């Protein structure tokens, strides 16, 4: 019962986006994928979601995803894209309701909206919302799809592609906490992240992808060392531990802030 | 915060689910009304009421009344209903498929493809070994093939990695229309006098050529397409978020796409085969309904069929009486009334909702 991707290769026309990436994620944990822009983080998530053609194999809960029908796979995992453009003037509630599976209770849609802090927006047009609000509505829809983190002893999965990219700090923490809760209740979370500090706060394990290849996959303190990050991002990065919370944080500037200001 | 969770009534989507059902009911009443008008009104001074009265008295209809009511107006009415329903629901399906409210069989070249197929049947059909066997079905089959080919081609061109480019779709549709019209022109140039006459009659279209024989071919195809379309609603709703998102939610996107294209090609193809190209139904009707009762395809496709049927039959009634005993082509009526109405809606809604 895990997500196991073996020797994943992805190429679009002649451009190689991923080569020979072997990667896994366990239920009950938040697994982050980090790396510079254009390194192939989202492509890796697309591959394990079954959206792009890939070489190698991906298995979810012990089954090759190519052998699982779309309707069955939808029970096992839900995917949040970076941005979800909408074609017609649907309301917020109509969008969230799309995530409901056949046997789930309709009232879950309202619970999900509450969970992402969007209760009260039900009747509003999706297109009238800000980018951050739209992102949270989509998260609510995705949560509806896998509302129970574990069902019949089988863990369910959330695949999130930069879920906090257009959110303010408070919303970022709330969204990451929602993902954390899902994992703590036994579900699996794979999340593509830009913010290394948030990654350090919420992820159990992290995969660093650079230039289409996996550099390392390990626990956060072991994987994200100053040398690796400096190499990966092409700038001088230092890593230090935040004294009050004990969080492992990575100042993204070359300068190390005095610890009091950090938190 | 807690109070918000106590009630999950449909008001949370703006009351649109119950609104849509009311719209369906209202459209059914309207449909009945225009159907009666379609039977009652016409160039001949035959009265529907005296005819009905006679039948209820157990008397026979006069031969003239029987011909006018049962062999001219009734098949024409039914054809109008079917063609209107077919064009409007095709519009709704195409718009859902392309995720764009500008998709319309007339605009993006599906009708042009059907016309091309029809002209092929008229001009080249005689040379085919199985033409006699197919008989009256030859024209609709070719029109269907033309519409199907055009839709497939267009979708292939405009969609890349699950995203449909609006500009590409419109431009490709225009190019495709121009191309098929050019081929159609070549075929007409090649045609002999008899074929030319057939083509002219077909192209004048309207519903004046409607008869029971044609209806027997059109009705099953359109009804089958409309029936199938009802099952595509959930898939099309999910596809409003893009093909990837729909697949993530468990929708068999390929199946939905293929079925939608087949339905559109079948419905548009036979409609064009029987009535020529009638514009504006496929684009105006779904728009109006989205504004009234929201974009949920569960209601949209059915309501589009109902409103499309009403619109076309009303237009046909107007076409018949406005310069009686002559008739205006119905396409002129749909454009004269549909065009300004559509513009009015756009102006009124400008800035409120991005359709």
pLDDT digits (tens, 9 = 90+) for B318-331: 888 887 777 777 87
Q: Please, what is the average pLDDT of chain B?
A: 80
Structure tokens at A83: 């941005």
* Higher-confidence position of B174 and A20: A20
* Whether B1 and A73 lie within 8 Å, measured CB to CB: no
* Interatomic CA distance for residues A115 and A58, integer angstroms: 31
Return the H-helix or E-strand segment holding B187: helix B166-190
pLDDT of residue B120: 86
Which chain A positions have a beta carbon within 8 Å of B1's beta carbon?
114, 119
Residue B4 banded pLDDT, cuts 50, 70, 90: very low
Angle between helices B74-98 and B253-275 (to 10 degrees): 150
pLDDT of residue B62: 75
pLDDT of residue A163: 93
Strand order in the sheet with A15-25: A15-25, A3-12, A55-60, A63-64
Identify the closest residue of chain B to A80 by CA–CA distance. Answer: B245
* Interatomic CA distance for residues B219 and B215, integer angstroms: 6
List A158's β-bridge partners, or say none. Answer: A78, A189
ipTM of the predicted structure? 0.87
- Judged against a pLDDT cut of 70, whether residue B307 lies above it is answered with yes
Q: In this predicted model, what pLDDT tens digit does every residue of A156-178 receive, in sequence order?
A: 999 999 999 888 888 899 999 99
* Whether B100 and A91 lie within 8 Å, measured CB to CB: no
- Residue A94: which of B162, B249, B296 has the nearest Cβ? B296
pLDDT of residue A258: 45
Q: In this predicted model, what pLDDT tens digit does every residue of B168-181 receive, in sequence order?
A: 877 888 888 888 88
- Judged against a pLDDT cut of 90, whether residue B126 lies above it is answered with no
- Residue A86: which of B241, B244, B249 has the nearest Cβ? B241
- Residue A145: which of B5, B249, B295 has the nearest Cβ? B249
Strands A205-210, A30-34: pairing is parallel
List B164's β-bridge partners, or say none. Answer: B159
* Interatomic CA distance for residues A42 and A49, integer angstroms: 10
pLDDT of residue A254: 46
Domains and CATH numbers, chain B: 13-348 (1.10.3470.10)
- Judged against a pLDDT cut of 70, whether residue B253 lies above it is answered with yes
* Whether A114 and B4 lie within 8 Å, measured CB to CB: yes
Structure tokens at A249: 């944080």
pLDDT of residue A256: 44
- Judged against a pLDDT cut of 70, whether residue B107 lies above it is answered with yes
pLDDT of residue B195: 81
Work out the angle at residue B311's Cα, subtended by the Cα atoms of residues B307 and B313, and round it to the nearest 5 degrees. Answer: 120
pLDDT of residue A55: 93
pLDDT of residue A190: 96
- Residue B13: which of A74, A91, A145 has the nearest Cβ? A91
Identify the closest residue of chain A to B1 by CA–CA distance. Answer: A119
Q: Please, what is the average pLDDT of chain A?
A: 87
* Higher-confidence position of B56 and A195: A195
The percent of chain B in helix, strand and coil, each rounded to the nearest 5, is 75, 0, 20
* B332, B267 Cβ separation under 8 angstroms: no
Residue A48 banded pLDDT, cuts 50, 70, 90: very high
pLDDT of residue B134: 65
* Whether B12 and A120 lie within 8 Å, measured CB to CB: no
- Interchain CB contacts (distance < 8 Å): A and B: 108
- State the average pLDDT over residues A234-246: 73
pLDDT of residue B135: 67
% chain B with pLDDT above 70: 85
- Go through B102-125 and write b for each residue having 16 or more CB atoms within 10 A of its CB, e for each that does not: bbbbbbbbbbbbbbbbbbbbbbeb
Tokens 């989205």, located at residue: B290
Which chain B positions have a beta carbon within 8 Å of A122's beta carbon?
12-13
Interface probe, candidates A77, A87, A112, A114, chain B, greatest B C-beta count within 10 A: A87
* Interatomic CA distance for residues B150 and B265, integer angstroms: 9
* Whether A88 and B16 lie within 8 Å, measured CB to CB: no
- Go through B289-304 and write b for each residue having 16 or more CB atoms within 10 A of its CB, e for each that does not: bbbbbbbbbebbbbbb
pLDDT of residue A185: 95
- Judged against a pLDDT cut of 60, whether residue A228 lies above it is answered with yes
pLDDT of residue A248: 66
* B238, B249 Cβ separation under 8 angstroms: yes
How distant, in Å, are the alpha carbons of A5, A17, A166, B195 from that of A82? 21, 18, 10, 57
- Judged against a pLDDT cut of 50, whether residue B338 lies above it is answered with yes
pLDDT of residue B214: 81
pLDDT of residue B282: 86
- State the average pLDDT over residues B198-218: 75
Interface residues of chain B, partner chain A, Cβ below 8 Å: 1, 4-5, 8, 11-14, 16, 96, 99-101, 162, 237-242, 244-245, 247-253, 290, 294-296, 353-355
Question: Which one of A108-112, A151-155, A188-192, B246-250 scores highest in mean pLDDT?
Answer: A188-192
% chain A with pLDDT above 90: 54
- State the average pLDDT over residues B225-252: 91
- Judged against a pLDDT cut of 70, whether residue A257 lies above it is answered with no
Identify the closest residue of chain B to A107 by CA–CA distance. Answer: B8
* One-character DSSP codes across B306-331: HHHHHHHHHHHHHHHHTTTTS---HH
pLDDT of residue A54: 92
Residue B355 banded pLDDT, cuts 50, 70, 90: very low
pLDDT of residue A205: 94
Report the gap between the CA of A120 and the closest CA in chain B (Å): 7
- State the average pLDDT over residues B144-166: 79
pLDDT of residue B187: 85
- State the average pLDDT over residues A118-143: 91
């Amino acid at each position: 019962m895990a997500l196991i991707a073996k020797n994943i290769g992805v190429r679009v026309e002649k451009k190689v986006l991923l080569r020979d990436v072997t990667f896994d994620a366990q239920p009950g944990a938040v697994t982050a994928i980090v790396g510079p822009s254009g390194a192939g983080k989202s492509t890796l998530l697309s591959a394990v979601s079954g959206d792009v053609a890939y070489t190698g194999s991906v298995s979810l809960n012990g089954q090759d995803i190519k052998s699982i029908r779309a309707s069955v796979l939808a029970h096992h995992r839900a995917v949040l894209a970076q941005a979800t453009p909408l074609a017609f003037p649907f309301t917020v509630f109509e969008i969230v309701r799309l995530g409901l599976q056949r046997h789930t209770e309709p009232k879950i849609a309202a619970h999900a909206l509450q969970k992402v802090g969007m209760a009260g927006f039900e009747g509003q047009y999706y297109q009238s919302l800000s980018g951050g609000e739209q992102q949270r509505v989509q998260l609510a829809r995705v949560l509806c799809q896998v509302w129970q983190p574990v069902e019949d002893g089988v863990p369910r999965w959330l695949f999130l592609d930069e879920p906090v990219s257009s959110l303010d700090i408070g919303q970022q923490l709330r969204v990451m906490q929602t993902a954390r809760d899902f994992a703590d209740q036994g579900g699996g979370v794979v999340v593509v992240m830009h913010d290394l500090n948030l990654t350090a706060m919420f992820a159990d394990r992290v995969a660093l992808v650079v230039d289409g290849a996996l550099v390392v996959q390990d626990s956060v303190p072991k994987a994200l060392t100053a040398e690796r990050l400096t190499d990966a991002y092409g700038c001088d990065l230092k890593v230090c531990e935040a004294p009050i919370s004990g969080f492992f944080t990575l100042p993204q500037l070359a300068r190390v802030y005095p610890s009091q200001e950090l938190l | 915060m807690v109070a918000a969770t106590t009630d999950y009534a449909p008001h949370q989507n703006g009351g649109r689910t119950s609104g849509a059902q009311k719209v369906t009911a209202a459209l059914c009443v309207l449909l009945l009304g225009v159907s009666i008008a379609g039977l009652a009104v016409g160039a001949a001074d035959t009265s529907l009421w005296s005819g009905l009265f006679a039948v209820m008295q157990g008397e026979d209809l006069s031969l003239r009344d029987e011909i006018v009511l049962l062999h001219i107006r009734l098949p024409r009415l039914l054809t109008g209903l079917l063609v209107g329903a077919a064009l409007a629901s095709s519009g709704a399906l195409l718009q859902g498929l392309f995720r764009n409210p500008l998709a319309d069989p007339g605009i993006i070249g599906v009708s042009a493809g059907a016309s091309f197929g029809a002209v092929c049947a008229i001009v080249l059909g005689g040379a085919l070994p199985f033409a006699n066997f197919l008989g009256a079905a030859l024209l609709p089959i070719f029109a269907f093939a033309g519409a199907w080919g055009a839709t497939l081609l267009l979708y292939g061109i405009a969609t890349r990695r699950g995203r449909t480019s609006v500009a590409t779709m419109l431009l490709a549709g225009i190019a495709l229309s121009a191309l098929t019209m050019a081929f159609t022109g070549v075929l007409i140039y090649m045609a002999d006098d008899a074929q030319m006459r057939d083509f002219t009659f077909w192209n004048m279209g309207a519903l004046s050529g409607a008869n029971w024989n044609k209806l027997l071919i059109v009705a099953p195809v359109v009804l089958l397409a409309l029936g199938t379309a009802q099952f595509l609603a959930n898939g099309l709703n999910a596809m409003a978020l893009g093909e990837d998102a729909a697949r993530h939610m468990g929708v068999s996107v390929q199946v939905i796409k293929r079925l939608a294209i087949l339905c559109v090609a079948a419905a548009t193809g036979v409609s064009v085969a029987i009535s020529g190209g009638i514009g504006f139904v496929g684009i105006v009707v779904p728009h109006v309904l989205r504004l009234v009762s929201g974009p949920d395809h569960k209601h949209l496709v059915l309501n589009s069929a109902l409103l499309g049927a009403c619109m076309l039959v009303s237009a046909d009634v107007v076409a018949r009486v406005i310069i009686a005993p002559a008739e205006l082509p119905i396409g002129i009526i749909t454009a004269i009334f549909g065009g300004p109405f559509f513009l009015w809606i756009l102006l009124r809604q400008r800035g409120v909702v991005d359709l």
